[in-house]
Structure 1
């Protein structure tokens, strides 16, 4: 007679496997936040062989591919994450949000005809995400940005953005003010836009809300105000999180303070507050480009190589390295 394991042992084995999977997700999340994309992707692929219908693992792998700007692979994993989500509205909303972002990445690189078709998938994913979980602030914000930026023929429109503000206000006054600012800016009402960006900052005084003020000034070519706002942000952002990467981008767009921009990017790359909001590989390339402008080709090369060491399929780093 074949030996059969007792039921309790089978349960214990299953429980240990799930604990291992949870630990692996934590480890992969840490690796992804720190920018070690290849390491995170390798671990996630291994875990998916054992748990092929784990929605969280698929979402994490989607985010890894997204950070490398590999749109088709990101879409495939996020579609699997959505399909495999069961009885968890918050998780389903998150997965739909990331799917919308992945579609958006693909649309941004597609020809006009393909982009038109894909854009409809972007807005459909964001809208469904906010329907599944009306308190998903990030999804509401993404949907608002889409409504403001996209033409009505692909589901955008300021009228829809206006209505979305009413849904956002009970959930996040900060994000509602931000969306009002974007709507006003789109309508060329710059006085109202500036005021609403500042109201968002007053509602939640964080580096993330202040960078929106700096970005507004940069787009309006008010670079003195933009630089002043960035300096305030730098003093505020003790954690050195992704906001200082955006601050460096504002300085670069204004063609101001290149040394400060380099210092901000370097600070982020050594900060424990790194996240996939600003993938480290992208920041290395951004820093490499600034260093290259100073005439230091070898220093720039080191940054591009550092990017590829973290994310070997990150095409902008490979392209920049080949150009050296």
Structure 2
């Protein structure tokens, strides 16, 4: 039986008034799938349609925040994630994503503004971890914040150590990763390397996906230490483990690009990721396409660069990086 338009309008008004209706399961799946595939415009279309009918749908707001986050539209991400938190203040993941959006914003503003926003970042991560002490992602992000932030912002390795101990009981892979970052922050590089390698050993018994990411993180550690041969060996091991051609490949490619080494291998891994079936919002396809375009442009291949930029913009017209790079490609710079 089809529903009349007046009935649908009345239902939408009830949903808005009581915030009792959420994104329909099929729409939730479609929006999340589009986000995972890097189809930001498609995801926004689905979510905008839903939010027009029910502006108080916290799940839809959180998903739209994550699309904006992927597009590096930090102010819009903060706005939507903040609204989701206000509507569902007990949801750990909503606080986590608001903290992430604040964190990215803080890294792109002046010192005075960054100080204020960093405090908000810490507060959201702490809320996320407090609301769900078994939320491994929230604890990992909080621990990383403590590692990187100065004491004046509430950071410190002692606090990070407490988080690592919390993780050890039920998420040992994350615990060893955090322990590695703590040791690295203390300049105890031998211990840091051992922690990253212990994580690899454990990950090998969990899944190829976990193992490949653990190898890539070890490679990133070596990059920060300027240990280039060890870096490349770790990244190659990570690529070999990435039988799903998942986000770890894109991560490894980014490490190669940041170190100005093996552009051929970086391009190969990015293309394998884009051609695979394990696309994820962790490595948005349009961002990887833009990086691939940058790589082609640096090699003097203007045509392939322009094609990559155009494809990125077709997936995410609001992604500033694709727009800027398209202009560069058109101007020949």
TM-score, normalized by the shorter chain, greater than 0.5: yes
CA distance in 2, matches of 1:77, 1:225: 42
1:273-312 alignment to 2 at 5 Å? 273-312=278-317
Deviation at 1:73, TM superposition (A): 0.6
Distance 1:235 1:173 in 2: 23
Q: How far apart are residue 163 of structure 1 and its match?
A: 1.6
C-alpha distance in 1 between matches for 2:255 and 2:104:
22
- CA–CA distance in structure 1, aligned partners of residues 170 and 103 of structure 2: 25
Q: After superposition, give the CA deviation of every residue in 1:228-273 in whole Å (9 maximum; x if it has no partner).
A: 1111111111111110011111222332221111011011112110
Matched, 1:189 2:188: yes
Query: Contact conserved, 2:21 with 2:54, CA < 8 A, in 1?
Result: no
Secondary structure of the equivalent of 2:52?
A: helix
User: In the alignment, which of 222, 226, 233 is matched to residue 217 of structure 1?
Assistant: 222
Aligned match for 1:41, one of 39, 44, 47 = 44
Checking the alignment, whether the CA contact within 8 Å between 2:21 and 2:57 is kept in structure 1 is no
In structure 1, the gaps of 5 or more residues are: 1-9
1:133-212 alignment runs, 5 A limit: 133-205=132-204, 206-212=211-217
Post-superposition Cα deviations, 1:11-53, rounded to whole Å, max 9, x if no partner, equal: 9xx99x9697211110011001000001101110111122222
2:234 aligned with 1:241? no
Are residue 314 (structure 1) and residue 314 (structure 2) matched?
Answer: no
Q: Does 1:71 align with 2:70?
A: no
Tell me the distance in 2 between the aligned counterparts of 1:153 and 1:318: 38
Q: Which residue of 1 aligns with 2:63?
A: 60
Contact 2:184 2:192 in 1 (8 A): yes
Unaligned runs of 5+ in 2: 1-9, 205-210
CA distance in 1, matches of 2:73, 2:255: 26
TM-score, scaled to structure 1: 0.91
Give the corresponding residue for 1:50. Answer: 53
- What is the root-mean-square deviation of aligned Cα atoms in Å? 1.9
Structure 1 residue 57 displacement after superposition: 0.7
Aligned to 2:231: 226
Tell me if the contact between 2:247 and 2:282 (Cα under 8 Å) persists in the aligned partners: yes
What is the TM-score with the length of structure 2 in the denominator?
0.89
Q: Secondary structure at 2:273's aligned position in 1?
A: helix
4+ residue segments displaced more than 3 Å: 17-20
Alpha-carbon distance in 1 for matches of 2:175, 2:23:
40
Displacement after TM superposition at 1:171 (Å): 2.4
Tell me how many residue pairs correspond in the alignment: 308
Per-residue CA distance 1:249-302 (angstroms, 9 max, x = gap): 122233222111101101111211001100111101111111111110121111
Matched, 1:29 2:28: no
